[in-house]
Structure 1
Amino acid sequence: MRVMPSERLLPNAPSGTPVPDSKGELPPVIRRQEVVAFALVALLLICVVAVLWAAKAFFLPVIMAFVVGTMLSPAANLLERYKIPRGIAAVLIVVTVAAGATLMIGLISAPLMEWTNRLPEMASRLRDKMHIFDRPLALWHELQGMVGGSSNGLSSFQIPKIEWVQPTIEFLSPTFTEFLLFFATLILFIASWKDLRRALIMTFGDHAARLRTLRILNEIEVHLGNYLLTVTIINTGVGIATGIVCAVTHMPNPGGLGALAATLNFIPIIGPVATFVILVVVGVIALPTLGAALMAPLAFVGIAFLEGHFVTPTIIGRRLELNALAVFLGLAFWTWLWGPMGAFLSSPLLIVALIVKEHLVPVSAPQLPQD
């Protein structure tokens, strides 16, 4: 008699006892198609990153214009309700933003140029004030000599001679062509955003896909616009508070230092740290005692702590709360790829990725079991 596959007999079992089905106990098998798909996705990501890095002069101003234009689109919609043509509204918005940026650059650049011209004098003053480290350095060199290490170092504090001005300017300053491409793309993007939205939505033939795309675009526009508005208000407050603290503690150029703090605060994590370092250096050079020099930096630490842990989470809310590790890794990646402008784009791009993920992988989708 022929035995069916599902009725195979156990070796020591009576006749007619079927073997239990054990397919659920088999270990998972990685199929070749999955490996190939993963490898292709990894190669695609590597190629995209390489293209973005090699063609930075083109992609950085264009993507910057897309992100900033999406942030400013609600303002264009508001002006359009008052019967202002969208093209004129785009020009007015870009001119206003450029005027504000020029004002901030003027507040920062004036003291910066003055201090750059006085670098030898300030270096000499800083060297004189750092003599308090002579004794610890001497003790350190004696300890090195006792344990057999080299003690040929100088016993006095020396400021390293580093050619940093020109490389820093080249790193921070985009070219004129990039500026021109950014502003032209920004104006055209804001002016034609409605047509671009419609074209992108109509690209999909399925009604559900069109509706999902419309919701994603609307949510990105709303959240990026709110992000820009709230972050600008918060950073302006941080700059004003820093300027007041610098004026009270007799720091030089309090207006420029406040504008610098507000500008750097747009860059998460790195910006506040850079502001603290700058305040310490300026205080040590300009003020007579170390205690007076540290008053403004320590007050800024308190301002940054309140802003980062209470003000910003309360105003922005918890819905788009960003994971600290994700923010740090995104900041490191985009700063490595595109410099300071990439650092500015890191949080908006992370918000866009979070919104897209929420719509493409909703909460109702199958999830991992809880621990």
Structure 2
Amino acid sequence: MRVLPSERFLTDTPEGTPVPDSKAERPPLIRRAEVVAFTLVALLVIAVVTVLDLARAFFLPITMAFVIGTMLSPAASFLERYRIPRPLGAVLIVIACAAAVAVLVGLISSPIVEWSSRLPELGAILKQKLHVFDRPLALWQELQSMIGGSETLPALQLPKFEWVQPTLEFLSPTFTEFLLFIATLILFIASWKDLRRALVMMFRERQARLRALRILNEVETHLGNYLLTVTMINTGVGIVTGAICAMTGMPRPAGLGALAATLNFIPIIGPVATFVVLVTVGIIALPSIGAGLIAPACFTVVTFLEGHFITPTIVGRRLSLNALAVFLSLAFWTWLWGPMGAFLSSPLLIVGLIVKEHLMPVNSSQLPEG
């Protein structure tokens, strides 16, 4: 008589032993340890973002000083070759940068002060010239009423100017933050070599030290090149914008060019803000709306060529930045730290990409072809 395998198992095992399932056990797709690790990382990110938001008055000037100090560190090393001590070179570099910023602020603030004193008059002029859109709005209302819509469009009204003072308060840092930024910037540039050596020696293994040294050197090189390249590009954009404003009869072309160069340091938002300013100034200052839109149209062409051809060709050779990553970084840091965060978004993204490339190389794990 033939004994089946299942019967043989039942006869050989003692009573009370569970019968195994016919299907083999499969490991879960997501293990409990992975869920716990992901949850802990998510909580850590939330905690860090909360701390950066609540302690913005401290972390923003410190981060700004670290990023700008890393950008300017090659200049201090260059001055050291000519036997200028690094602390003295740090002071000279900060003074030169402060002088350049003061010139830009002077060029921009002069027309702003003049126009702010004439806000009611300029608002009336702008409202009068925008009456040309009353007829299209009336036609739209007529079309809406024929379709059956009950909503009516309100008359074209200009926003009130009560936003000027809160905006200036939001854009300008406090005196304490400014002092903290300047002091940290000078000390960071002066002691960058010692700080870099200390960061490398924190690791015990030789391989880890070499990796940390490569990361710091690459961050310094890329940020320095980024600052130099973007400054030259934005200076060119400012000069071209000022020339366009002068040729089209716009008032204060030097101030508008300086504004375009300054705002162009902020990706996406800066050119849009400059375009809005040029449209507003052109409509107010020039006799017709068509004449006022010439300078903004030319500026749009300039920024299109700069953003799609010039900057990607020059900057992209050093470190390619994904457009979606740039946009998300800009949105996040602007939400967290305002305009200064928008300025820091691209440098911080570059630092993050460099660290990611060294800690998680592309060839570290190959995905199966599918």
The TM-score, its normalising length taken from structure 1, stands at 0.91
- For residue 65 of structure 1, what is the aligned residue in structure 2? 65
Residue 311 of structure 1 deviates from its aligned partner by 1.1
**Offset at 1:27?**
5.7
Aligned to 1:113: 113
1:141–1:153 contact (8 Å) kept in structure 2: no
Offset, 1:161: 2.3
The alpha carbon displacement at 1:222 in A equals 0.4
The CA deviation at 1:306 is: 1.1
- Report the counterpart of residue 317 of structure 1 in structure 2: 316
Contact 1:330 1:347 in 2 (8 A): yes
2:163 matches 1:164? yes
Unaligned runs of 5+ in 2: 8-22
Q: Which residue of 2 aligns with 1:260?
A: 259
Give the secondary-structure state (helix, strand or coil) at the position aligned to 2:362: coil
CA contact (8 A) 2:137 2:153 kept: no
Does 2:31 match 1:31? yes
Cα deviation for residue 10 of structure 1 reads 8.8
Separation (CA, whole Å) in 1 of partners of 2:221 and 2:5: 66
Which residue of structure 2 lines up, in the alignment, with residue 193 of structure 1?
192
Per the alignment, residue 42 of structure 1 pairs with 42
Q: Kindly state the Cα deviation for residue 37 of structure 1 after the two structures are TM-superposed.
A: 1.0
Shift in Å at residue 274 of structure 1?
A: 0.8
Which deviates more, 301-310 or 223-232? 301-310
Q: Any conservation in 1 of the 2:283–2:292 contact (CA below 8 Å)?
A: yes
Counterpart for residue 282 of structure 1 = 281
Taking the TM superposition and a 5 Å limit, the aligned residue runs for 1:144-163 are 144-146=144-146, 147-151=148-152, 153-154=154-155, 157-163=156-162
The percent identity for this pair of structures is 71
**Aligned-partner residue type, residue 181 of structure 1:** L
Q: 1:15 corresponds to which residue? A: none
Superposed CA deviations along residues 17-51 of structure 1, whole A, max 9, x for unmatched, are xxxxx97x936432221111111110000000000
CA drift of 1:136 comes to: 1.4
Q: Any idea what SS the aligned residue of 1:364 has?
A: helix
Superposition deviation, residue 316 in structure 1: 1.8
> Mind listing any 5+ residue stretches in structure 1 that lack a counterpart?
1-7, 12-21
Counterparts of 1:98-109 in structure 2, within 5 Å, are 98-109=98-109
Equivalent-residue separation in structure 1 for 2:361 and 2:272 (angstroms) = 36
Separation (CA, whole Å) in 2 of partners of 1:9 and 1:221: 71
Amino acid at match of 1:336: W
Deviates more, 1:29-38 or 1:115-124: 29-38
Secondary structure of the structure 2 residue equivalent to 1:101: helix
The corresponding residue for 1:16 is none
Letter of the structure 1 residue corresponding to residue 163 of structure 2: W
- CA–CA distance in 2 between the matches of 1:307 and 1:163? 35
Q: Please name the residue that 1:328 is paired with.
A: 327
Is 1:242 aligned to residue 244 of structure 2? no
State the alpha-carbon separation in 2 of the partners of residues 319 and 148 from structure 1: 56
Cα offset, 1:233, TM superposition: 0.4
1:204-219 to 2 correspondence within 5 Å?
Answer: 204-219=203-218
How far the C-alpha of 1:350 sits from its partner, in A, is 0.3
Contact 2:80 2:86 in 1 (8 A): yes
**Equivalent pair of 2:222/2:318 in contact (CA under 8 Å):** no
Distance 1:198 1:33 in 2: 37
| Distance in 2 of aligned mates of 1:184 and 1:121 | 43
Aligned-residue RMSD, C-alpha:
2.0
For 2:299, the equivalent position in structure 1 comes to 300
1:121 maps to amino acid: E
Q: Secondary structure at the match of 2:76?
A: helix
The count of aligned residue pairs is 353
